Amino acid sequence: MPNQEQLWFQPLIWMDFRLAVIFTVLIPLMLLLWAFAQKTEAIQNLLIIYWRVASLLAISVYLAIGSMPISFVTAFVAQALIPVSLWFWADLNEEITDLPSRPLKLGLLAWRWATTLYSTLGAIATIPFISCAFGTAKTDYCQAWFQPSWLYYQFFHANSSPGFLSFLGILGLIVYTLYLVYFLVVRLGKQGRSAMVGNE
């Protein structure tokens, strides 16, 4: 078994979990509610797209509850896609740039840059652990990454079985994958970098 020194990164995992809650859940949720309250359509559309993409993080949590190795891959992909979802849309970028410099816009820009940095660094930090998806997930080295998801399970789903929750994660992953393939193969060719074409 690995000794304590080999798990030096465990506090960093918990810090990452806390940062994920702040940057990928709480702040974008508040911004979305704020954007709806102020009827700022461009920001609404950007954040709705963000939530669609970031749902892969939630799927990864449910896969990790059942200690499913594929969660290492999905977590990496989610962190890599989030910055893309925040900057890819040319029309939304232009509309947001043209908005007056009010607190909502400034808050969005600060969150967008912070989340881009956080997700990019998170994806890079995850790369050494992707091997956990291919036969080494039962080692302490890999199991440490499941612990935040197990805590989430204890708080919110204590009456459900981990197997059932992982099954829901698998279903979510199948739907997500099908939609992503459809977007890449069909919609991207039609709409390019215009978000509004796909929302009509």
Farthest-apart Cα atoms in the chain, separation: 58
Range of 166's domain? 4-199
What is the token pair recorded at 99? 């908005």
- 3-class DSSP state of 71: helix
Q: How confident is the model at residue 78 (pLDDT cuts 50, 70, 90)?
A: very high
Query: Is 82 in contact with 119 (CB distance < 8 Å)?
Result: yes
Looking at the structure of the chain, the number of domains it has is 1
Q: What angle do CA 93, 99, 102 make, to 5 degrees?
A: 125
pLDDT value of position 137: 65
Work out the average pLDDT over 82-99. Answer: 95
Distance of CA 14 to the CA centre of its chain: 16
Strands (DSSP E) along 102-162, which ranges?
none
Work out the average pLDDT over 77-93. Answer: 95
Number of Cβ atoms within 10 Å of the Cβ of 152 = 17
| Predicted confidence (pLDDT) per residue in 9-21, tens digit | 788 888 999 999 9
Q: Cα torsion for 29, 31, 37, 40, to the nearest 10°?
A: -130
